[in-house]
Amino acid sequence: MLASDQFVQEIRDRGIYFLFPRPPGTPHLSICIAEGLEELGIPFFADNDVYAKPYDPNSAYLFRQATCQPADAALVVADVVVGGNIDINPVLGFLRALNHRAAILCMSDPIVMYDFPIDIPSFVTHESKNVRPDGWRIPWVFGLNRDTLTKIDAAKRASNARFPAFVRDFRPSKYQAVRQVLDLTFVKPLSRHFQIDRRLDDGGRFVPAHYERLLSSFGCLAYGGDFFEDYLQNEYYRELAIKLPKVRDEGPHVIRWDSWRLWESFAAGCATVMLDFEEYGFRMPIIPKAGVHYVGLKFDRLAETVEFMAADKERLLVIGEAGRAWALDHYSPKAVATRFIDEIAKAYGQLKSN
């Protein structure tokens, strides 16, 4: 039996242990994987009671504090936050003591500025072909959890028709220059053909009204991120000896591109408007096709895209449905958990062969 096949069997028999050495919050990547593990019948454990299921009337925790030890499981996964003054070195030391039966999950916004270990497989979001920090990085994405899918199913009962509107409910925030640029260059001409729904909900985005608007609109503007270029071309930064990620060329390139909104839009069957994945080098396990699963934007062809959207509104409905089917096929919890196990098994086999 191949080492990777043997490791998969160990995971099925002994399960996965999740560690949450992180500030309070929702460990979204772990949630998506764990919900898929439930569907696959694979056991998992945690170092704490974490995530009271919002879709469960009994508010049962998805992760229950284990009576076993991390080393009893086939794999230990640490869901970490990076950036600021957060030090993950203690957890890295703990993982290294587990004889390579370990992995890292991370979806922090400043992830592109952070070097991950070269000896621990790290599943990280916002990956780019054009901006490459160091480390053993496996491209990952936010994906879909049951809570999002449940809320969208509930919103379907309240929304029976789609109107020629696009949801643009970005809350003003720092480091979102992509949205600001596209407001100036794309949204304004788009507004001549479609209503732009800019309403913001009290209590945050994760409320029924948000999902109902997604279900009743043609589409959703789901892009985001900031720009990054080779700052070491500037002698000021070279003299400061600042550690920066490797850049494919001078740039600029788009970073911090993934979001909950992107996956909500896909799952709601909206015509999802997003920067072109291929054009801007976004790395993810399975890439959607522009013009089939989503509306892909290129900064030098925005007028053409507006013309396409305005000329064939029915096509937008077809793209929305295709995008939903694609997202459910590849990024619902069961699909995500299956892919995670396959990827970590390949990584384990690679370590064994070294």
Partners of residue 50 on adjacent β-strands: 63
Going 182 to 188 to 194 to 196, the CA torsion angle's sign is positive
pLDDT value of position 352: 52
CA distance 255 to 41: 36
213 and 322 share a domain?
yes
pLDDT value of position 3: 61
Identify the helix (H) or strand (E) that includes residue 188. Answer: helix 188-190
CA distance 186 to 297: 9
Give the three-state DSSP class for 295.
strand
**Residue 121 near residue 95 (C-beta atoms within 8 A):** no
Q: 13 in a domain, yes or no?
A: yes
9 and 48 share a domain?
yes
113 and 163 share a domain?
no
77 and 51 share a domain?
yes
Task: Please name the residues in contact with 309: beta carbons below 8 A apart, sequence gap of 6 or more.
Answer: 190, 193, 194, 271, 295, 316
201 and 319 share a domain?
yes
CA distance 143 to 332: 7
188 and 84 share a domain?
no
Chain center to CA of 178: 17
Give the three-state DSSP class for 187.
helix
Partners of residue 102 on adjacent β-strands: 76
**Residue 184 near residue 155 (C-beta atoms within 8 A):** no
pTM: 0.95
Going 203 to 206 to 208 to 212, the CA torsion angle's sign is positive
303 and 154 share a domain?
yes
Q: 251 in a domain, yes or no?
A: no
Q: 301 in a domain, yes or no?
A: yes
Structure tokens at 57: 């009337």
Q: What count of residues does the chain have?
A: 354
Partners of residue 273 on adjacent β-strands: 221, 295
The domain tally of the chain equals 2
Neighbours of 342 (CB within 10 A): 13
Domain that holds residue 217: 146-224+259-331
337 and 281 share a domain?
no
Residue 16: HSE in the Cβ half-sphere, 13 Å Cα cutoff: 30
297 and 150 share a domain?
yes
Structure tokens at 222: 């789901």
Taking only the tens of pLDDT, the chain with its 354 residues reads 456 788 889 999 999 999 999 877 789 999 999 999 999 999 999 999 999 998 887 778 999 999 999 999 999 999 999 988 889 999 999 999 887 689 999 999 999 999 999 999 999 999 999 999 999 999 999 999 999 999 999 998 777 789 999 999 999 988 999 999 999 999 999 999 999 999 998 877 788 899 999 999 999 999 999 999 999 899 998 898 888 999 998 889 999 999 999 999 999 999 999 999 999 999 999 999 999 999 999 999 999 999 999 999 999 999 999 999 999 999 999 999 999 999 999 987 765 544
Chain center to CA of 312: 30
89 and 175 share a domain?
no
Report the CATH number that the domain containing residue 59 is assigned in CATH: 3.40.50
**Residue 286 near residue 328 (C-beta atoms within 8 A):** no
349 and 278 share a domain?
no
Distances (CA, A) of 288 to 205, 216, 275, 322, 327: 25, 23, 12, 10, 9
**Residue 91 near residue 78 (C-beta atoms within 8 A):** yes
Q: Whose CA is closest to 292, among 269, 311, 318?
A: 318
127 and 63 share a domain?
yes
Neighbours of 17 (CB within 10 A): 25
pLDDT value of position 278: 98
